[in-house]
Amino acid sequence: MSNETAASLDIARERTSEFLDLSRAFHCHRGVSEPRPSTPPPRGSLPPEERASRASLLDVAHAPVAKGRAAAQSLGLTGVLVAALVIVVVDFGLAIHLWASIPLTVLQTALAFPWMELVLRAETGERRPRGWLPKARMLLAHFVNIGLLAFALVEKWIALVGALHASDVTPFVSSYRSFSVVALVMATLGILGRGHRAQRFLADAADHPARLMVLSFGITAFLGGFLLTLPEAVVRVEDASFLDGLFTATSAVCVTGLAVNDVGATYTFFGEAVIVVLAQIGGLGIMVLSASFVVLAGRKLRVKQSAVLVEMIDAGSLAALRRTLIAIVGYTLLFEAIGALLLYAFTGFHPEVMRGPDDPHPIAGAGDRAWWSVFTAVSAFCNAGFCLSHANLAGFAASWPICLTVAALITVGGIGFPVIDELRRHAWERVRRRRPDRLSLHARIVLGTSAMLTLGVAAILLVLEWSQSLAHLPWHARVLASLFQSVSMRTAGFNTIDLGAMRAVSIALACVVMVIGASPGSTGGGIKTTSFAAICAEVWAELRGHASARLLDRRLEPGVVRRAMGVTFLSLAIVMLGTFAMLMTEDHEPLRILFEVCSAFSTAGLSTGITSSLSPAGKLVLIVMMFAGRTGPLTLALAMATETKRTPVQLASERVMIG
């Protein structure tokens, strides 16, 4: 056989093999399995150019089918979403009407089934995660999303049925509209996270501490909002508004204390338990709490998870992580238990605490003395500010034991776990009659700044409010109320006086104090006492002509001062934006709106009495403020930042005129 004939046969054999491969790929996409040839073509018989050509031909054959299926699926998802959007808009505008609400709700419920099928269907051509754990996470995310959508639809039906059997449908309109919008939001999230997008998003967030913190607080607040709208969580079904539930849940998990309604009169024991658990989770931190369960169970944390926790809680090293986690949980439970026991003993002199929410007495509302003590102790140590009494702690304004116990819990929770641990070691050395080491600069700044702010603000409030909001109290109770309000004003949110009756100058002072807030590593918010001290030291150094900031016989690193200024600037910018947004949506006095925004951002939880009368837009603004204040402005900025490549290029400097 000649060389030309052999070459022709080889080319024919190769073309036939390519045709069979294309045919097999086509039938495979149509669901038809083709028998494989008994003898595959020999490997290496084709030159590299021919193999590349064959691969490109196969890609061309695969691409139209994959793109067609993806386009069809996207078109189906878009159609379902558009139809749901139209239904929600019409339903929202009509509110509750018998001739329209039932058909629209039936249509919205019917759309959930094709939406579910489209969300769970795997996208063609998408690379699936390897291993059972990523697949389990992906399925869990999808089923949680489906469960929340189903829950929203069920709650909407409950509100609709309740409205149809009531003489007045007005109390049910808010919850009906809320769950209609929530169902649309969950459907949109399901579409955005279909396939493996949710798994990839969670995997990326798990490696980024700032994003992980923001995501964990957001998910916890959202789930808490659902729990607080359950019929078992509210006394009256008409109070089950998702927006109000989300507001209260965000306030609890962000340890703020703002509420749009009376907690003791609105929520059942289950709802109150949800609030106090959310406050405990927010005070400890979601990641710290979950990791503590793993450590206490005797299991080991993964290296990546341990590294993230070390950065989040500033444990110093992986070796100290376990001890730090156990110490944080131990201190929290110990102080809360001591506080609850003391409050239970002191409330024996106030039997009104045991009265239910139907009693109009300012102290009444809890219905149980032990539950009131536990709830208040947890809320105080976590700086949450929630109280089951109708008038918060105003009924105890003259009770030195109760006010001092709550103030002590607030102070201990507000100085931070690192300072608590250092004071414990310092006291232990003194018990052993050894000379303890000098307290660290951080501890001295925290303790000194906190003491000066507490005593200074208390003295100013006593002078300014002596004949104003303190006028109805005897002189010794005025001293106690000013001291307690000074402690609570920075971050806790409890009140023993009517804040709405304070002078304008006192309200302005409260705004400044709330923005300063508590200390780093604590359960409180604000820019933190260390940032305030660092900025004051930098300003003093600039006035004195010093080269660097000095504080307590120590020189502050330029990076510390720069970080403090960055946190302060971002915080003030967020407060200004929130105030502008509230001024556009609310009709209250500008100073009271500023007070409300500062209270939400600093997670102080104080109010002059306008929270319950805010519009839905105003409530959403405060939700964003609470979330930004708890996670921290710098954390939010880091969470939204993208990784940048460092270049060795150093730009030239030039002088700029300042002032």
Contact 478, 458 (CB under 8 A): no
pLDDT band at 279 (very low <50, low <70, confident <90, very high): very high
pLDDT of residue 316: 54
- Using the predicted structure, report yes or no on whether residue 513 has a pLDDT greater than 90: yes
pLDDT band at 16 (very low <50, low <70, confident <90, very high): low
Contact 215, 269 (CB under 8 A): no
pLDDT of residue 482: 95
Distance of alpha carbon 371 from alpha carbon 633, whole angstroms: 35
The answer to which of 201-205, 294-298, 438-442 has the lowest mean pLDDT is 294-298
Mean pLDDT, residues 151-173 taken together: 79
Residue 189 one-letter amino acid? L
Distance of alpha carbon 576 from alpha carbon 515, whole angstroms: 12
Distance of alpha carbon 499 from alpha carbon 415, whole angstroms: 25
pLDDT tens, position by position, 335-349? 999 999 999 999 988
Q: Domain spans of the chain?
A: 3-46, 47-206, 312-640
What is the pLDDT of the chain when averaged over all its residues?
Answer: 78
Distance of alpha carbon 462 from alpha carbon 50, whole angstroms: 90
513, HSE (Cβ side, Cα atoms, 13 Å): 30
Which of helix, strand or coil describes residue 274?
A: helix
pLDDT of residue 75: 47
Phi, psi of 267 (to 5 degrees): -105, 150
Nearest one of 456, 438, 450, 454 to 553, comparing CA atoms? 438
pLDDT band at 201 (very low <50, low <70, confident <90, very high): low
Residue 516 one-letter amino acid? I
pTM summary value: 0.78
Strands 554-555 and 550-551: antiparallel
pLDDT tens, position by position, 355-391? 888 888 889 888 889 999 999 999 999 999 899 998 8
Distance of alpha carbon 238 from alpha carbon 241, whole angstroms: 7
Nearest one of 439, 449, 437 to 520, comparing CA atoms? 449
Per-state percent for the chain, helix, strand, coil, to nearest 5? 70, 0, 30
pLDDT band at 416 (very low <50, low <70, confident <90, very high): confident
pLDDT tens, position by position, 612-645? 889 989 999 999 999 888 877 656 555 555 555 5
